[in-house]
């Protein structure tokens, strides 16, 4: 019997068997030699996804886990805030350094569009009812309204300058945006159904992160240039009270546990997470965190606060006993990964990392079931 090879040559079956025996003998000798010099052969195992994390001893383990990294090519410079289209599974990200907003398809895990023409975009808010995307521009103080079907500009809303953080209240269908520098700066209120400015609340200087009560009447705002946490009535626009961020300065990020009556404020100098009684303004706890915090989210399901820090870490802060909070988990991200978005419906925390030695990327963390 003869065997035909793919190159046109033919060999006899006996020759084929002799060659096979020699190959088996050679492989056996190689393996014997390796074992004799102490080389251990093991079965191949696929590498698990890398997750750099350090955890405080004796506390919750594995609260967050990195489940996906989506690389974003050709996006350089600072990247700011995000929002999500849950139904369409799209993530919108303000790329301030590129003057663009990029759109990530979460189902396929890839960048699908870059919307250009902005002026230092800082905040984005998606309106499900109208399929509109509002983009705040720090460079010229405008808010651009984008149709997310055609990705075309619908209209532009003008403020005095530095349009920044935004929040959307789906019940009242109102969008809140911080704006301005110095006297007259504050929070503007936009009717999301017609894109008209209803009112402006004066905070005396530029508010950074702020939180709006869903069931109450208050707006809490960080005003770092005044070293104050300020509270206003969202209906009347009147300032109600204010208090300092303890003995710290540069109070930028903020989160609110409305039901529990706790306000979480991040400071840069020194780097702390301050926990206040939101009704009295009394300081409850002060926690040392990683540096350059820019976003905080409170997870009402787990009771943890997630803090994304530009130092290159995610800090998970939890209540360890009555009125005592501590960092209970600390996960490595990337240097400069300051901004994040927590989506309770998905149990996911999205962290955006700017380009450096690696391309920009979206790091997706899953909240562990059964925590705390």
3-state secondary structure 246-275: CCCEEEEEEEEECCCCEEEEEEEECEEEEE
Give pLDDT, residue 202: 97
Would you state the structure tokens that stand for residue 243, as one six-digit string? 């208090």
Local structure of residue 345 (DSSP, 8 states): T
Look up the domain containing 60 and give its range.
54-74+239-372
Residues 6+ apart with CB under 8 A from 226: 204, 205
- Say if 113 falls within a structural domain: yes
Residue 324 sits in a domain whose CATH number is: 2.130.10.10
Query: Is 221 inside a domain boundary?
Result: no
pLDDT per residue, tens digit, the chain (372 aa), is 443 433 443 444 343 344 344 433 333 433 334 333 333 222 222 223 333 333 333 344 589 999 999 999 999 999 999 999 999 999 999 999 999 999 999 999 999 999 999 999 999 999 999 999 999 999 999 999 999 999 999 999 999 999 999 999 999 999 999 999 999 999 999 999 999 999 999 999 999 999 999 999 999 999 999 999 999 999 999 999 999 999 999 999 999 999 999 999 999 999 999 999 999 999 999 999 999 999 999 999 999 999 999 999 999 999 999 899 999 999 999 999 999 999 999 999 999 999 999 999 999 999 997 555
Same domain flag for 137 and 260:
no
- State how far Cα 105 lies from the chain centre: 16
Identify whether residues 179 and 243 lie together within a single domain. Answer: no
Count of domains in the chain? Answer: 3
Q: Can you give the pLDDT at residue 196?
A: 98
Residue 47 lies in a domain: no
Please indicate, yes or no, whether residues 311 and 281 belong to a single structural domain of this protein.
yes
98's tokens: 């590129």
Q: Which of 123, 154, 128, 153 is nearest to 138 (CA)?
A: 123
Find out whether 289 and 309 touch, Cβ atoms under 8 Å: yes
pLDDT at 62: 85
């Amino acid at each position: 019997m003869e065997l035909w090879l793919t190159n046109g040559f033919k060999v006899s079956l006996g020759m084929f068997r002799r060659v096979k025996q020699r190959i088996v003998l050679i492989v056996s000798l190689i393996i014997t030699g390796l074992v004799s010099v102490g080389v251990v052969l093991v079965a191949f195992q696929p590498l698990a996804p890398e997750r750099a994390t350090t955890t405080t001893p004796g506390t919750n383990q594995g609260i967050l886990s990195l489940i996906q990294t989506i690389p974003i090519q050709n996006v350089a410079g600072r990247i700011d805030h995000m929002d999500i289209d849950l139904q369409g599974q799209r993530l919108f990200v303000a790329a301030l350094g590129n003057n663009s907003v990029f759109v990530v398809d979460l189902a396929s895990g890839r960048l699908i569009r870059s919307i250009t023409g902005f002026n230092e975009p800082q905040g984005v808010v998606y309106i499900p009812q109208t399929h509109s995307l509002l983009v705040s521009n720090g460079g010229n103080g405008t808010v651009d309204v984008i149709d997310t079907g055609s990705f075309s500009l619908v209209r532009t809303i003008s403020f005095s300058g530095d349009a920044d953080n935004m929040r959307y209240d789906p019940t009242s269908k109102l969008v809140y945006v911080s704006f301005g520098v110095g006297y007259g700066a504050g929070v503007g209120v936009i009717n999301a159904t017609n894109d008209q400015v209803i009112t402006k609340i004066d905070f005396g200087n530029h508010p950074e992160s702020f939180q709006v009560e869903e069931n109450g009447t208050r707006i809490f705002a960080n005003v770092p240039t005044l070293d104050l946490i300020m509270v206003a009535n969202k209906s009347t626009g009147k300032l109600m009270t204010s208090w300092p961020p303890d003995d710290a300065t540069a109070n930028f990020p903020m989160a609110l546990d409305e039901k529990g009556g706790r306000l979480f404020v991040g400071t840069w100098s020194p780097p702390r997470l301050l926990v206040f009684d939101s009704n009295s303004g009394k300081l409850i706890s002060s926690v040392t965190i990683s540096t350059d915090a820019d976003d905080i989210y409170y997870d009402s399901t787990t009771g943890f606060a997630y803090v994304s820090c530009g130092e290159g870490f995610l800090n998970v802060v939890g209540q360890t006993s009555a009125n005592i909070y501590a960092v209970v988990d600390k996960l490595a991200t990337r240097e400069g990964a300051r901004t994040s978005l927590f989506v309770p419906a998905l149990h996911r925390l999205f962290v955006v990392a700017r380009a450096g030695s690696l391309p920009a990327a979206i790091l997706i963390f899953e909240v562990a079931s059964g925590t705390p």
